[in-house]
Amino acid sequence: MSPELDRTRPVWRQVAAAIATRIADGQYPVDARVPSVVELSTEFGIAASTAQKALAHLKAEGLVRAEVGLGTFVAKRSDDDETSSA
């Protein structure tokens, strides 16, 4: 089932928000691999460049980290450390 996208808003932002929600909900836990550009393109019915832009945005936000040759993974967030040590 392909998620519905609102074509009046930037699609890459909607894809990034969907992945961020999955991370927040625990569907993708810390260190879990997130879908690749090709997988996101297929799932959302979008261009590879759009999927790449969504992943780049998530990386810039610190939600994911890219490992060359391995894929993109959920990053450990610094606020998780602060919460657990408080």
User: Is residue 54 included in any domain, yes or no?
Assistant: yes
CATH code of 33's domain: 1.10.10.10
- Residue 19 falls inside a structural domain: yes
pLDDT band at 84 (very low <50, low <70, confident <90, very high): very low
- The reply to whether 5 falls in a domain is no
Say if 17 falls within a structural domain: yes
* 21 part of a folded domain: yes
Residue 10: its pLDDT value, please?
A: 95
pLDDT digits (tens, 9 = 90+) for 51-79: 999 999 999 999 999 999 999 999 997 76
Mean pLDDT confidence for 26-36: 97
Rounded Cα gap, residues 44 and 61, in angstroms: 21
The whole domain housing 77 covers 11-85
Element (H, E) at 71: strand 71-74
SS3 17: helix
DSSP at 83: H
Q: What is the dihedral of CA 35, 40, 41, 45, to 10 degrees?
A: 150
Number of domains in the chain: 1
